[in-house]
Homo-oligomer: A and B are copies of this chain.
């Protein structure tokens, strides 16, 4: 315990140790602004609005951050985690590559383009960031089970982080999930539970268990406010890796919309803390047409997001009723950005385009983001002269089927030099 912690002691229940949530001071409702003390809560007791973390940040310098580890804990002072977070086993995600994408920029006619590549996280998606923060919260709350409902990236991340932390971990999936996707999570946990129902059924069951059982930390349910903060580290890293600067434009995939709102929040925090200079940043959201409720609302000029029934290969983006949809609309409109959507064929082409130009194999969510980037340039909604960042959230090895009909050998030859010459490859 340092003196800083003591002076900004969080208001928490007595069973929680001092400094357990760093400089977080409470939970605040995003709708009515009511506050409550820190706990495994996610809904405002006054208006049932969503809660998020409130902080009293200390002075933080670039040098302090740069002296930290090459993972998300370098930003621990800005997250709801304790100062000794590095001592607890976790997946240590983050500080992934920010690659200048000259080939893709040339292909799309952009002056300057960067890809933030989260496919190289421990379980190959950005979910490792949020799960790492949820795991810290679960530990500090003394939770006895770490859990989630999920069909994909989140399930992998929770199962892996729970294994490393040595906490009982239970992952709920729809029972009709394909075998490879089951293996990707079952490899890490003894407690993969198949539920006869669709993802909505699994999600509902998870909320019920979270309400009935003591000591269960469902990362995206009752510890969601802590979990969601992990996405801020994407924004912090982009700014630091650009040399403590903000980009002019950024394109972010939209599922629940949480990632986009948190990246926006991270940029505002860096400005408020004096870590980067303030400047306008246009924020763009990317969806697949088969699940594009936020894009539809943006296009139609609506203030509400109408739920859709998802039907797209971009399954990790297929949330028909996105919790943060209206916040995404607000941010994209306020910053001069946009939300757009593309077809599943364009998603597939986006995957191939990124791989062929930059050597990065992205999943369908990343294909969506690249495809939307291309569309935004073509429609003139994104300024090709401004410095642009695009986020790749996950790995193509997990969604191989999406492209397996699209790419393959250019030729099949006999194992002789003559056959090689005849094929005209040289």
Contacts and interface: CB of A to CB of B under 8 A. Distances in A.
B359 A122 contact: yes
A425 B355 CA distance: 42
Contacts of A117: 122
A256 to B, nearest CB: 21
B359 A91 contact: yes
A28 B44 CA distance: 71
B420 A209 contact: yes
A408 B121 contact: no
A188 interface: yes
Given A192-B409, A212-B417, A361 B89 contact: no
Interface in A150-168: 159-164, 166
A180 B404 contact: yes
Interface string A390-413: 000001111010011001111111
A165 to B, nearest CB: 8
* Chain A: number of interface residues, binned into ranges: 35 or more
Interface in A164-178: 164, 166, 170, 173, 175
A213 to B, nearest CB: 6
Given A120-B120, A120-B121, A194-B412, A163 B397 contact: no
A401 to B, nearest CB: 9
A254 to B, nearest CB: 24
Interface string A191-221: 1111111000110110011001100100000
A179 interface: yes
Contact of A192 (B186, B201, B355, B410): B410
A412 B196 CA distance: 7
A184 B399 CA distance: 11
Nearest to A412: B194
A192 B408 CA distance: 7
A410 B360 contact: no
A182 interface: yes
A92 B102 contact: no
A423 interface: yes
A189 interface: yes
A292 interface: no
13 contacts: A99-B164, A103-B166, A122-B359, A161-B359, A164-B359, A182-B408, A183-B404, A186-B408, A191-B425, A205-B420, A209-B420, A209-B426, A213-B426
Question: Which 10 residue pairs of A and B lie closest in terms of their CB atoms, listed nearest first?
Answer: A160-B359, A164-B359, A197-B415, A186-B407, A201-B415, A194-B409, A194-B412, A397-B397, A163-B359, A187-B355
